[in-house]
Amino acid sequence: MSALDMSLDQLMKRGSSRPAKGGGPGKVSASSRAIRRPAPYAAAKSAGKGSGRAQPQGGKSVYVGNLAWDVSWQDLKDHFKTVGQVLNADVMMEPGTTRSKGCGLVTFANARDAATAISTLHDTELNGRLIFVREDRDAGTGIGAVGGKGGGGGAAGAGASVYVGNLAWDVSWQDLKDHFKTVGQVLHADVMMEPGTTRSKGCGLVTFANARDAATAISTLHDTELNGRLIFVREDRDAGTGIGAVGGKGGGGGAAGAGASVYVGNLAWDVSWQDLKDHFKTVGQVLHADVMMEPGTTRSKGCGLVTFANARDAATAISTLHDTELNGRLIFVREDREGGAGVGMAGRGGSAVAPTDGCKVFVGGLPRETTWMDLKDMFREAGSVVRADVAQAPDGTSKGYGTVLLGSTREAAKAIQLFNETEYQGRTIQVRPDAHP
């Protein structure tokens, strides 16, 4: 009988009765099966062989997200060894840098400890942030050569981050995360801070698990309100470079250095951040451009900030773009007196800037009886008042307007936010950047 006419049972009996020769169809020995087993199912090696570290195994690894930037592998290991034996802990890094991606992997000696970590360490605090812990969905692949996990559930891929601007000063990373997790899984959220301080720059980054959720965030959360301000959301144009060591987004491998930002005043109300960027990129690489907005609105405050890749381009902008026309108005451009230092640190680390330098605002609609002392007392709520003046006619009577010189650009912005279009002694006053600082 030919093999084609045999039943399955007959074929199996026929095969089992034959001796196992060479490459024939006879019974395969256990040792042969082990050799021929496809690679993904090969017998497990002892931990760490060949790589100098323990290899993640199915069910024994957990993914940890929302890590603070300063968390090290040792911090991660110390936090997780409270629930079991940790074979390996890694914080993912931006390719070719020592900057954390804000997430990591922890591998335990057994799956039971990994499950305990998920149930007990999720939403616990590590270095001031609540981390999230879940199963490693790419167990067995390792972290990889570029410092990030690939595929479903690992580190975010290309296009998975969004930039968020016009944030209120009191928005925290948790507020940002809560606002954006309504459209997808947020791996990391961060508010950029002034170097060496806990003061917000008014912008941040949100990283999603995939590019689809990031696109949804741009289309649905742009121009939504967060803590009283309408935020703008766009793609992160520097994805892959990291936020940088000083709390701002970098371009070409790092964040902008000291002196790389300029303050721009006397902007026309219709100037957008894109107009600002287009105007200033004629003199150098612009990393970021922002137009300051009235709280809870899309109305410009008439001023903004532009950050360059280096201080040389910023200096060129000041020398060549000051008093140039943008949308029908002559803008003024000067150094950002907080660039590279914390707000209120007079002299910027010993540079030539005098302690009395600051940012001046114009105050209109003042009652005639208002004195410079009244003005100074009122604006102290916004920050350090260097000087306050009320304009006077030749006969000594008030002209109904004045100026206030505040210690920093940020304090001036806060003053505009606090006092513009508010009532003072029965009159509505106007506060805006002074056109002649």
- Residue 411's pLDDT band, with cuts at 50, 70 and 90, is confident
Which secondary-structure segment (H or E) carries 432? Answer: strand 427-433
pLDDT (tens digit, 9 = 90+) per residue, 11-47? 555 654 544 444 444 443 433 333 333 333 333 333 3
> Which of residues 120 and 300 earns the better pLDDT score?
120
User: What digits encode the pLDDT tens for the residues 93-111?
Assistant: 877 677 788 888 898 889 8
The residue ranking higher by pLDDT, 43 or 365, is: 365
Determine the average pLDDT of the residues in 235-261: 46
Asked if residue 231 has pLDDT above 50, the reply is yes
Residue 380 has pLDDT above 90, yes or no: no
Q: Which of 235, 270, 288 is the last residue of a domain?
A: 235
| Prediction pTM value | 0.30
The pLDDT value recorded for residue 196 is 66
Looking at per-residue pLDDT, the higher value among 85 and 200 belongs to 85
Residues 369 and 311 in one domain: no
Half-sphere exposure for 367 (CA within 13 Å, toward CB)? 10
For residue 145, pLDDT beyond 70: no
In a domain, 221, yes or no: yes
pLDDT confidence of residue 279: 94
Specify if 325 maps to a domain. yes
Report whether 342 contacts 195 (CB < 8 A): yes
The CATH number linked to 212 is 3.30.70.330
My answer on whether 225 and 180 are in the same domain is yes
How many structural domains compose the chain?
4
Kindly state whether residues 110 and 167 are assigned to the same domain. Answer: no
Within this chain, do residues 365 and 428 fall inside the same structural domain, yes or no?
A: yes
Question: pLDDT, tens digit, for every residue of 309-362?
Answer: 877 888 889 888 988 999 988 888 887 755 433 323 222 222 233 333 568 889
Residue 30 domain-assigned? Answer: no
For residue 81, CA distances in Å to 78, 137, 324 come to 5, 21, 61
- What pLDDT is recorded for position 5? 57
Residue 225, in any domain of the structure: yes
Please indicate, yes or no, whether residues 175 and 209 belong to a single structural domain of this protein.
yes
Same domain, 329 and 275: yes
Query: Tell me, what's the pLDDT at 12?
Result: 53
What is the structure's pLDDT at 25?
A: 40
- Binning pLDDT at 50, 70 and 90, where does residue 255 land? very low
How far apart, in whole angstroms, are the C-alpha atoms of residue 200 and residue 248?
A: 10
| Average pLDDT of span 201-211 | 85
Average confidence (pLDDT) over 280-289: 86
**417 and 380 in a common domain:** yes
Give Cβ neighbours of residue 87 (< 8 Å, ≥ 6 apart): 47, 48, 54, 60, 107, 108, 109
**Is the pLDDT at 259 greater than 80, yes or no?**
no
14 belongs to a structural domain: no
Q: What does the DSSP 8-state code read for residue 255?
A: B
Does 280 or 411 have the greater pLDDT score? 280
Q: Report which of 166, 61, 52 is spatially closest to residue 115, judged by C-alpha positions.
A: 61
Q: What is the pLDDT of residue 313?
A: 84
Among residues of the chain, what percentage have pLDDT more than 70?
70
CA dist 108 and 102 (Å) reads 20
Which among 304, 227, 238 has a CA at the least distance from the CA of 267? 304
Of the candidates 319, 335, 351, which is a domain's last residue?
335
Rounded to an integer, the average pLDDT of 392-403 is 87
Give me the domain span that covers residue 405.
Answer: 359-433
As a whole number, the mean pLDDT across the chain is 73
Domain boundary, last residue among 235, 270, 301: 235
Does residue 296 form part of some domain? yes
Residues 6+ apart with CB under 8 A from 327: 267, 268, 270, 271, 275
Burial of 26 (0-12, 13-18, 19+ CB in 10 A): middle
Residue 247 scores a pLDDT above 60: no
20 part of a folded domain: no
What's the pLDDT score for residue 377?
87
Sign of the CA dihedral with 222 first, then 411, 258, and 96 last: negative
CA 153 to CA 151: how far, in whole Å? 6
Query: What proportion of the chain, given as a percentage, has pLDDT over 90?
Result: 13
Can you tell me the mean pLDDT for 246-257? 36
The end-to-end CA distance of the chain, in Å, is: 104
Contact 231/167 with Cβ under 8 angstroms?
Answer: yes
For residue 2, the model assigns a pLDDT of 54
Predicted pLDDT of residue 337: 59
Q: Which residue has the higher pLDDT, 182 or 18?
A: 182
Mark whether 177 and 127 lie in a shared domain. Answer: no
Average pLDDT, stretch 116-125? 90
- Asked, for residue 73, whether it belongs to a domain, the answer is yes
CA-based Rg of the chain, rounded to a whole angstrom?
30
Q: Which residue has the higher pLDDT, 14 or 191?
A: 191
Instruction: Kindly list the distances between the CA atom of residue 14 and the CA atoms of 3, 358, 408, in Å, as whole numbers in the listed order.
Output: 10, 95, 91
Confidence class for position 256, pLDDT limits 50, 70, 90: very low
CA torsion sign for 422, 424, 428, 431 is negative
